[in-house]
Structure 1
Amino acid sequence: MPPTSPALRIEVRGVDATEPAVAPALRFLLRLEADAPIRALTLTTQIRIDATGRGYDEQARERLAELFGPPAAWGRNLSSLLWTQTVTHVPAFTGATTAPVTVPCTYDFDVAAAKYLHGLPDGEVPLRFLFTGTLFYAEEGRLQAAHLPWDTESAFRMPVEVWKELMDRHFPRTAWIRLERDTFDRLYAHRVRHTLLGWDDAVRSLLETSGG
């Protein structure tokens, strides 16, 4: 008779900013419950933003137009976004334990998740955690290994303010964009030519000229 692997239940219980941290990151707290002792667990976590799981006012729709198009197209364009994937090694436990999943965060607007999180004025971010991995357990004195069932997952609603406060702490009153070298050279030449003190001054002068 083949061994029966332990049943494992995983739930996301909370989120906070990692402290101290050189780079911005969020720490999600998992609670794991098993019906048999676990010797070790290698857990791969894919976090997706379930964009269809919340409502959007006019302001949010305008800010998210680059991701989902004009409001008339949201019915077909609004979809799930991949945020990140990470691997966590959980040590042995019996019954229940907790484990952190650390997620590095970026203000890089070439990343869809950063665009989405920046575009939300308030409320909650509907997240779905999809778990895969291998658990190790003892069966009749022998170490056994089993893959987590494909449907092991958990939903969590993260307050938007948690992400915004993290970004404000690491990048106070600033945001980051990436420019091609030629574009940067032209912007730098514009700044020098007009004797502008900083990059904000250079961009503002261009916006004022274009009426933006």
Structure 2
Amino acid sequence: MAEVGFTCLGSRVKTHAAFPTLLFRLRITSQADVHAILLRCQIRVEPHLRRYSPDEAELLGDLFGDPARWGDTLKPLQFAEVAVAVPGFSGATEIDVPVPCGYDLEVAAGKYFAALDDGEIPLLMLFSGTVFARAANGFAVAQVPWHCEARHRLPVALWRELMDRYFPGSGWLRLRRDTLRDLHRFKSARALATWDDAMEALLKEAQG
């Protein structure tokens, strides 16, 4: 069976979705007539393929440590793993690959994205799955070779547009229940109106 090829043509925000979702436009080619592909796509961030401002480097310290050590610590990060069914085609086709996204700052990729001010995020898309192709005696079945991949540079502005649709001007942190209760007591004792006020008061006390 002829080998399939993959190219990422671009990305955009999925509108009217219940959950933050990016759509990656994928072009798939094959010299054989394809009946269907059960496709799996693993997406990794390749942080060593871009430069960082001093402010970004400071925020990335949690992930990669001191910039002096980044030659050893700037390793790929897992972003997403999704599955999609590709309908039949001859020669080439284009599909959208939906990737649900979160804003969890405890997840490495979430920390990484939140630390960036502008530029692009280097992504590597790795493909696997099963190809069902038409043949003279019916159809043939083959696996998508492990070396099939595509690269894409996701604009940081697009990521921020996506997050602002669902978390406008804000983010969130997950806290242990006992920590949250202590923070609630702190907020109530000082008659603070919002959680932002409580966090700002704590930061001022810590800095003082």
Q: TM-score, normalised by structure 1?
A: 0.96
Percent identity over paired residues: 40
| Residue of structure 1 aligned with 2:126, choices 126, 130, 136 | 130
CA distance in 2, matches of 1:134, 1:22: 29
C-alpha displacement of 1:62: 0.5
1:169 aligns with 2:160: no
| Residue of structure 1 aligned with 2:40, choices 37, 44, 51 | 44
C-alpha displacement of 1:141: 2.0
| Residue of structure 2 aligned with 1:188, choices 184, 192, 195 | 184
CA distance in 1, matches of 2:113, 2:199: 24
Encode CA deviations 1:1-31: one digit per residue, 9 max, x unaligned.
xxxx122111000100001112111000000
| Residue of structure 2 aligned with 1:93, choices 89, 110, 115 | 89
1:56 aligns with 2:59: no
After superposition, where does 1:1-212 map in structure 2 within 5 Å?
5-211=1-207
Amino acid at match of 2:116: L
C-alpha displacement of 1:139: 2.1
CA distance in 1, matches of 2:132, 2:8: 22
CA distance in 1, matches of 2:72, 2:162: 32
CA distance in 1, matches of 2:148, 2:199: 48
CA distance in 1, matches of 2:171, 2:107: 13
CA distance in 2, matches of 1:178, 1:126: 27
Encode CA deviations 1:176-203: one digit per residue, 9 max, x unaligned.
1000011001000011111111111111
> Alignment length, in residue pairs?
208
CA distance in 2, matches of 1:9, 1:157: 19
If each structure's strand is expressed as a fraction of its own residues, which one has the higher value?
2
The runs of 5 or more residues in structure 2 that have no matched partner are none
C-alpha displacement of 1:148: 1.0
Residue 163 of structure 1 aligns to a residue whose secondary structure is: helix
Encode CA deviations 1:133-185: one digit per residue, 9 max, x unaligned.
10001222222110011100011111111001111111011111000011001
Amino acid at match of 1:203: M
RMSD across aligned positions (CA): 1.0
